[in-house]
Structure 1
């Protein structure tokens, strides 16, 4: 119905304009809402599945993780080792460049129980938030000595260690565990080993509540695939906090590690820093 001086035609025109503007605003709000929802979803996915480092260059984020280190062990970027004496060819030099990560730990030098040392040389930045189940290549090369074997047997070797949030449905309150690779004996001593593949050799275990829930304990260790299967229990994906090379707390060990591989990136430990090389 029309009122006052406004004609019916004008009224209809105004009404249509208001209706069109209202519909336009509604569509715009819906579009903006969908865009915001997509942005939030993408952001959530990115945060829960951060990518692994992948490329050539260097990383400044490697060093001794002080909160995990016990006693006064050594983990230092160094030149060499070259040898041992009489050894020639590729096995007599670091597999990448001129340097490596030198490691020294003692078996009886602290007032703690046990009295042995532990050192963790790692990266608390670059792997944060990456998916544990996204790990598909892990390993390193080691300079093992016959003396180290005499100190603790053929299995006296350094480890690869990931601190993780296991995100287990069977233990939702447990947000921390260490995921540790225990390599088998090095196939050679007093020289650089070939690549030791942590996904097909050695054993893995978890620490804390996650070990009990998954069954991958230090006493009952798992293969890499068994560990990933146990962590893939239908809940949120387990994620990585840190990645590291470690040794201890057990037997004395003096040696070196180089060419740490995590997925498509090899970490080349050199005296002047950590270089990265992409594979594939």
Structure 2
């Protein structure tokens, strides 16, 4: 054995114990499991069946900036990374989400939803101030009037981002923007915008309760959009998008 790397069993055990002691003393969470008791990071990615064209939805570092921007707005709100999204035009669509861990969860149990966004002036020029990514829940609506309908997408359309060229504050999907269902299961369809409370009430018709299939952040098919999202919140968990994976953290 190379002498530089040789170590007795006793020294190895002692080193391991010391490392564990140091790790326990470090500030901050040691892992996503420690944050929430529920680590979803391995189940996040592009939902291929909901992707059209050649868009990009990739975990990345940054963005940092734009140039001249300083302070908290100049960096992702959680960690160093974010989910970068690039959609060229109305021919493309992408969803980045989780098809495993939310399956069967109650739609009516949703109480907190939202995210932070990095919006640009170029995106506004391309599609207007409300050219923004969406939060989408694929669900089983379980509406009594449509007993054979077990699929719809519950979509949040944000208002205009409060800032451009920098990271936004948290945007609360339960109090801003509007919601709709893609299958016209209730009066909350794309032609009749609903608040968060209204869309939940429309699904609570006294029969079997609606359940979640998947959760995603998405964009398209409408306008070019090139930007980023971070800190997706679903109830008491914030999903921190980092270049090396998605970290589940307890909401503060």
> In which range does the TM-score fall when normalised by the shorter chain?
0.7 to 0.9
Give yes or no for contact 1:55–1:278 (8 Å, CA) kept in 2. no
Matched, 1:118 2:90: no
Alignment of 1:90-169 (within 5 A): 90-107=72-89, 116-169=91-144
1:113-165 residue CA offsets vs partner (Å, 9 max, x unmatched): xx520000000001000000000000000000011000000000000000000
Unaligned segments of structure 1, at least 5 residues: 1-52, 108-114
Question: Could you say if the C-alpha distance between residues 54 and 169 of structure 1 is closer, same or farther in structure 2, counting changes exceeding 3 Å?
Answer: farther
> 1:178 Cα deviation (Å)?
0.3
Give yes or no for contact 2:93–2:220 (8 Å, CA) kept in 1. yes
Question: Could you say if the C-alpha distance between residues 103 and 88 of structure 1 is closer, same or farther in structure 2, counting changes exceeding 3 Å?
Answer: same
Give yes or no for contact 1:99–1:271 (8 Å, CA) kept in 2. yes
**Higher Rg of the two aligned structures:** 1
Give yes or no for contact 1:155–1:185 (8 Å, CA) kept in 2. yes
Question: Could you say if the C-alpha distance between residues 200 and 55 of structure 1 is closer, same or farther in structure 2, counting changes exceeding 3 Å?
Answer: farther
Runs of 4+ in structure 1 deviating by more than 2 angstroms, as ranges, are 53-58
Alignment of 1:194-273 (within 5 A): 194-210=169-185, 214-273=186-245
- Alignment partners' CA distance in 2, 1:238 and 1:207: 15
1:69-124 residue CA offsets vs partner (Å, 9 max, x unmatched): 110100000000000000000000000000000000011xxxxxxx5200000000
> 1:59 Cα deviation (Å)?
1.6
Residue in structure 1 matched with residue 52 of structure 2 by the alignment? 70
Pairwise CA RMSD: 1.3
Q: TM-score, normalised on structure 1? A: 0.76
Q: TM-score, normalised on structure 2? A: 0.84
1:20-65 residue CA offsets vs partner (Å, 9 max, x unmatched): xxxxxxxxxxxxxxxxxxxxxxxxxxxxxxxxx9546552000000
Give yes or no for contact 2:40–2:101 (8 Å, CA) kept in 1. no
> 1:279 Cα deviation (Å)?
2.0
Give yes or no for contact 1:130–1:239 (8 Å, CA) kept in 2. yes
- Alignment partners' CA distance in 2, 1:248 and 1:55: 33
Which is helix-richer, 1 or 2?
Answer: 1
Residue in structure 1 matched with residue 147 of structure 2 by the alignment? 172
Give yes or no for contact 1:159–1:183 (8 Å, CA) kept in 2. yes
1:194-247 residue CA offsets vs partner (Å, 9 max, x unmatched): 00000000000101141xxx1111111100000000000000110000000000
- Alignment partners' CA distance in 2, 1:136 and 1:105: 29
